[in-house]
Amino acid sequence: MFRSLTLPIVLMVTALLSGASCGPTAPVAATEPSTGVWTDSLILPGESHFKSIRQVTFGGDNAEAYWSFDDTKLVFQAKNPRWGTKCDQIYVTDWTRTWPDEVPPIVSTGRGRTTCSYFMPGDTTVLYASTHHHDEECPAEPERRPGGKYVWAIYPTFDIFVADLNGQLVRQLTDSPGYDAEATVSPRGDRIIFTSDRSGDLELYTMNIDGSDVRQITSELGYDGGAFFSPDGSKIVWRASRPQTDEEIRDYKELLAQGLVEPTNMEIFVADADGTDVRQVTRLGKANWCPFFHPGGEKIIFGSNHASERGFPFNLYLINLDGSGLERITADDTFSAFPVFSNNGKYLTFSSNRNNGGTRDTNLFIAEWKD
């Protein structure tokens, strides 16, 4: 989902590009990808918040890079044929490393499909969602709907696991029928937030670090997912669809009954960490997603295609919690998304199609943040 189905949204952009008779086939990029060193040559005109950028991966589909609590490591998901995996798996790296040729250490089992990794307190374990315990093969990706509508699969075999940094499973945190994924951890180290359809709808839940004391914290019809805690752990931010008309509600329910969601109309919401005092931040239309708190706690950075005419480009934006002060951060021609600040606020990881040598590769980048 827009967190769990993160790489599928990259594939959505790819599909849009491949099906378009006009428009760019790739973002403005160097003919040959540059090496993973700090440089200002990867900064596009208008990207004033970046001091320099370093490319981390070089090929395949790479997304959702999250920092360890001590800011020394990154955990991310990737699908790269050169790494010998058929669908998304979870990898961990020292944040100073780049991976132009070698394969980074894998911490998932290498079986099934995985998604949504995050460091646990202490930085010796990570959590992620996986289907491997039901089937070692990759589950099938859904085809486009009649009329070309793009949909995500809500794989009912996703459960949330904890593994150590050597890839050994430590425990299974969820075991209810249906979809459990999109888990992240509070900076306080006490609660996990995740998305589940155990109620019959896609809602947000929280639980203790050991998987106990599960609490449902959203209840409005529509997809709620991709949630993150604020730097002090007092608030949450997430993306949500809110079908309103009879037709929208019918379509949403029919797709969900088939284990599918159409992710083309989402807005950003914030609330207190227990789900109370819900406020809608964006009213931009189209797909607004992958939100994350600015280190100061008073702004949200997120990905959006609201300014596009044909579904792309996706770029990063900053906005105040009250919905004011919208500011574009990146200037990609195709795709920038999955922004995550380091805990010390000095760096921003994100995924982008820039500098891919004219391919459709989506790579991880780290930017030095000016403010």
pLDDT digits (tens, 9 = 90+) for 107-125: 999 999 999 999 999 999 9
User: How large a percentage of the chain has pLDDT more than 70?
Assistant: 90
Question: What would you report as the CA-atom Rg of the chain, rounded to the nearest whole angstrom?
Answer: 19
Pair of tokens at residue 67: 């920092």
pTM: 0.91
The band of 35, judged by pLDDT with boundaries at 50, 70 and 90, is low
Whether the CB-CB separation of 329 and 344 falls below 8 Å is answered with no
* Mean pLDDT, range 294-312, rounded to an integer: 93
User: According to the model, what pLDDT value does residue 201 have?
Assistant: 98
Topology of domain 6-369 in CATH is: Neuraminidase (2.120.10)
Rounded Cα–Cα distance for residues 344 and 295 (Å): 8
The band of 305, judged by pLDDT with boundaries at 50, 70 and 90, is very high
Does residue 14 surpass a pLDDT of 70? no
Residue-wise pLDDT for 311-355, tens only, equals: 889 999 999 999 999 999 999 999 999 999 999 999 999 999 999
User: According to the model, what pLDDT value does residue 371 have?
Assistant: 81
Q: Residue 173 burial by CB count (10 A; 0-12/13-18/19+): exposed, middle or buried?
A: buried
Does residue 74 surpass a pLDDT of 50? yes
User: According to the model, what pLDDT value does residue 149 have?
Assistant: 74
The band of 64, judged by pLDDT with boundaries at 50, 70 and 90, is very high
Does residue 234 surpass a pLDDT of 90? yes
Does residue 4 surpass a pLDDT of 80? no
Segments making up each domain of the chain, as ranges: 6-369
User: According to the model, what pLDDT value does residue 9 have?
Assistant: 45
Rounded Cα–Cα distance for residues 284 and 35 (Å): 36
Cβ count within 10 A of residue 232: 12
